[in-house]
Structure 1
């Protein structure tokens, strides 16, 4: 990955992903990642694309008229998507671990409540929330009260993104300066593991 690891840069990538997805508006659409393979932006684009597709899968599965067989297949697809999303977040955190491996950690350094990559994950989801909330403010078929409430929520989401953007860049600055340190706790999802999910390992006996 190249070193363009700022939250502001990530927001640009995420907004591009969301706009690109809605040009197709298809959970099965195939798009070419516009960023150089191995770059930070390439990884962010791929990760946010997963988020965008999953956002719309979650909409589809909530259709009260959905066929139960189709719903089960969709649920399995969402599970796979969640796993891919987690894998990519860990890939980003591994990069940050390597990037700051030689930093001398100060004696009073503290650990953050979440890793940098999971904070970037929140930014990705915020880009989707902002897009769809903005769409709600532009609905001509919605009641005036609905539009007004969505405008207020949109303002909150934009403020949240600005605050999170600032906080992420401050976190990375603190890690680079040794004021904070990071750890990577690998996923321990038990329901996907045939050795820890009793429904699955029970079938092996």
Structure 2
């Protein structure tokens, strides 16, 4: 399964579509059929793109503390949504490879396919925004040169990550590696596990 090409196409499409409106609250219109991998990849990158810009907003040194707290809570909510979608993507791969019988010497990978794709989505965002910095006509030559150097590093990292993702999926397909997925179990969002939240309910 060569997935990186498909994922990159969808991630780049998502980022471009978001920046047509360039607004955190712009409408989410997923062009792919529901319950498909393409739909999940698009949704994943859309959440990442929104959160990228939320992170910009909350770092305003002159932000009103009340507004800052509102952004922080939106970022927390976005992080939970991001984790949920990653776990849905891993569930897709578990079903997709459910017929594969791992070899006796099969090994587990340090991260699941979906968490590797999570890193790829973020990397696509870094490349998009770093490339924008290299194209600023009002920026200094030093700034542009520095950003070009960083962009080259990001592109090399992107190439390596794509290869690693495709190799991981091929190893799972052929039984050389096997998938074992653990839920994130984020305790701070769980009203039964976060002491501040369950104390507030008493």
Moved beyond 4 Å, runs of 4+: none
Worse-matched range after superposition: 35-44 or 15-24: 35-44
TM-score by length of 1: 0.94
Q: Which residue of 2 aligns with 1:112?
A: 109
Q: Which residue of 2 aligns with 1:167?
A: 164
Aligned length: 202
Task: Indicate if the aligned counterparts of 1:90 and 1:186 stay in contact, CA closer than 8 A.
Answer: yes
Task: Indicate if the aligned counterparts of 1:5 and 1:40 stay in contact, CA closer than 8 A.
Answer: no
Q: Please state how far the C-alpha of 1:143 moved relative to its aligned partner.
A: 1.8
Task: Indicate if the aligned counterparts of 2:37 and 2:92 stay in contact, CA closer than 8 A.
Answer: no
SS of equivalent residue, structure 2 residue 187: coil
Task: Indicate if the aligned counterparts of 1:105 and 1:180 stay in contact, CA closer than 8 A.
Answer: yes
| Counterpart selection for 1:188 from 164, 185, 188 | 185
| Counterpart selection for 1:199 from 182, 196, 199 | 196
Superposed, 1:37-52 pairs within 5 Å as 37-52=34-49
Q: CA RMSD in A?
A: 1.3
After superposition, give the CA deviation of every residue in 1:82-108 in whole Å (9 maximum; x if it has no partner): 000000000000111111112111011
Q: Which residue of 2 aligns with 1:58?
A: 55
CA distance in 1, matches of 2:52, 2:63: 17
Q: Please state how far the C-alpha of 1:39 moved relative to its aligned partner.
A: 2.2
Q: CA distance change for structure 1 residues 5 and 91 in 2, over 3 Å: closer, same or farther?
A: farther
CA distance in 2, matches of 1:143, 1:198: 50
Structure 1 residue runs of 5 or longer lacking an equivalent are none
Q: Which residue of 1 aligns with 2:64?
A: 67
SS of equivalent residue, structure 1 residue 191: helix
Structure 2 residue runs of 5 or longer lacking an equivalent are none
